[in-house]
């Protein structure tokens, strides 16, 4: 399996990886060495190839003179995923893959190294769409950028992206853009909230009080986002229990009553979402799909284009509210949470979305189908 060295790109792949292993297959992850902490606890082999994300960001800035973290145009997105990262990673990944001799390659849809390796080795490949489909102009930029890398190796350039033999689509139909999927014959794959490896002890959690529990999950990266404290202080005015993910920042530095909020550095989403009534998050696919799989409505405060895309689709499905940039202040978040807690239509829509996801094929079913198709 190939993925960008980012937890949000790797964790959605784990359920399929676990299913393949349970069915007797050996699974390895090709990504940067920085992802060892996300791969090795599950017992999967990390096949280190390519630099960390920060090095790719720096290379894009060197080539373009632009900071992709500050501005995301289709051209910069294409250069990041299908240009600079491919150039910095593919030769090392190809050498490792030749030694590994895979029978199949699965890549997440923003990884353009895996499909190129698969085409070079003439190995069956599948692409896992971990987000709703990207906009056509972004897909065109990605295809144009990666095309020259195929031609340099004497391979036919893909006409469009994602590129492979099969598309595994984690996005529930209600959150997908109409007519957005490429002509790969998509196979639905049920998204699951991230779970700890089998046998891992469950963390000790704060006792329930009977009040609604609201989860605030902007980021699990080191250091709490600056808006976390103000948002939690505003939400504390509601008659609710609060749980928040933070980068290990103590409660007293956020000006919070420790009896009113449970702060956690990191817990798998499957544990964080236990008995939650509403989630406040930034719009990443892992939290979006994980909360939807549990039938939990959400307030989404997106910062990046991809997050805004998912926030808009969730609101259109009636399962949450999207707060655009400029309307994400603490009072706006609190007002939106109050609506989700008091207006039954949001929970009803979230439950319909949960039932839609439950009807999608499981990772075990998709794993069996992939293996049967490749004859492994």
Q: Would you place residue 253 in the very low, low, confident or very high pLDDT band (cuts 50, 70, 90)? A: low
pLDDT at 265 over 50: yes
Q: Residue 76: its pLDDT value, please?
A: 94
Kindly state the percentage of the chain with pLDDT values over 90.
Answer: 62
Q: Token match 């999207």: residue? A: 322
Which parts of 258-362 fold into alpha helices (H)?
269-272, 285-293, 305-316, 330-342, 344-358
- Percentage of the chain exceeding pLDDT 70: 90
The residue ranking higher by pLDDT, 199 or 310, is 310
Query: How confident is the model over 189-231, as pLDDT tens digits?
Result: 999 999 888 777 676 666 677 789 999 987 544 444 567 888 9
The structure tokens 């990666």 sit at 146
pTM for the full predicted model: 0.91
Give me the residue label for tokens 């595994």: 168
Residue 120 vs residues 149, 152, 161, 166, 369: alpha-carbon distances, Å: 11, 11, 17, 17, 24
**DSSP β-ladder status, 166-169 and 28-31:** unpaired
The per-residue pLDDT for range 74-93, each reduced to its tens digit, is 999 999 999 999 999 999 99
Residues in Cβ contact with 158 at an 8 Å cutoff, skipping those fewer than 6 apart: 115, 143, 146, 147, 150
User: What domains sit in the chain, N to C, each tagged with a CATH number?
Assistant: 7-191+360-374 (3.40.50.2000), 213-358 (3.40.50.2000)
Residue with tokens 């599948």: 126
Q: Above 90 in pLDDT, residue 333?
A: yes
Question: For 8-54, how does the pLDDT look when each residue is reduced to its tens digit (9 = 90+)?
Answer: 899 999 999 999 999 999 999 999 999 999 999 999 999 999 999 99
Rg of the chain over all Cα atoms, to the nearest angstrom: 21
DSSP state of 372: H
Please state the rounded mean pLDDT for residues 267-280.
90
Does residue 135 have a pLDDT over 70? Answer: yes
């Amino acid at each position: 399996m190939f993925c960008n060295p980012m937890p949000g790109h790797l964790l959605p792949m784990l359920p399929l990886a676990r299913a393949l292993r349970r069915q007797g297959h050996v699974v390895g992850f090709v990504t940067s060495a920085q992802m060892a902490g996300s791969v090795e606890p599950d017992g999967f082999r990390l096949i280190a190839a390519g630099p960390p994300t920060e090095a790719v960001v720096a290379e894009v800035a060197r080539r373009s003179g632009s900071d992709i973290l500050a501005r995301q145009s289709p051209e910069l997105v294409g250069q990041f995923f299908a240009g600079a990262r491919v150039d910095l990673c593919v030769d090392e990944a190809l050498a490792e893959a030749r030694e590994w001799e895979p029978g199949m390659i699965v890549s997440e849809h923003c990884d353009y190294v895996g499909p190129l390796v698969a085409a070079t080795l003439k190995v069956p490949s599948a692409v896992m769409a971990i987000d709703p489909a990207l906009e056509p102009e972004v897909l065109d930029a990605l295809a144009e950028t990666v095309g020259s890398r195929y031609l340099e190796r004497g391979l036919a350039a893909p006409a469009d992206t994602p590129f492979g033999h099969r598309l595994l689509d984690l996005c529930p139909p209600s959150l997908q853009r109409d007519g957005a999927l490429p002509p790969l014959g998509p196979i639905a794959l049920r998204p699951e909230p991230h779970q700890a490896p089998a046998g891992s002890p469950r963390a000790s959690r704060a006792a329930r009080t009977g009040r609604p529990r609201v989860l605030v999950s902007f980021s699990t990266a080191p250091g709490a986002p600056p808006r976390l404290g103000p948002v939690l202080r505003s939400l504390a005015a509601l008659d609710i229990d609060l749980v928040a993910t933070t980068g290990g920042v103590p409660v007293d530095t956020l000006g919070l009553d420790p009896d009113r909020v449970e702060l956690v550095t990191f817990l798998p989403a499957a544990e964080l979402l236990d008995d939650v009534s509403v989630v406040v998050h930034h719009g990443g696919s892992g939290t979006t799909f994980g909360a939807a799989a549990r039938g939990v409505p959400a307030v989404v405060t997106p910062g990046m284009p991809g997050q805004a895309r998912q926030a808009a689709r969730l609101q259109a499905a009636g399962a949450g509210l999207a707060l655009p940039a400029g309307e994400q202040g603490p009072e706006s978040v609190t007002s939106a949470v109050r609506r989700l807690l008091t207006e039954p239509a949001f929970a009803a829509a979230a439950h319909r979305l949960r039932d839609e996801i439950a009807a999608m094929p499981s990772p075990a079913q998709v794993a069996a189908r992939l293996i049967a198709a490749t004859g492994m």
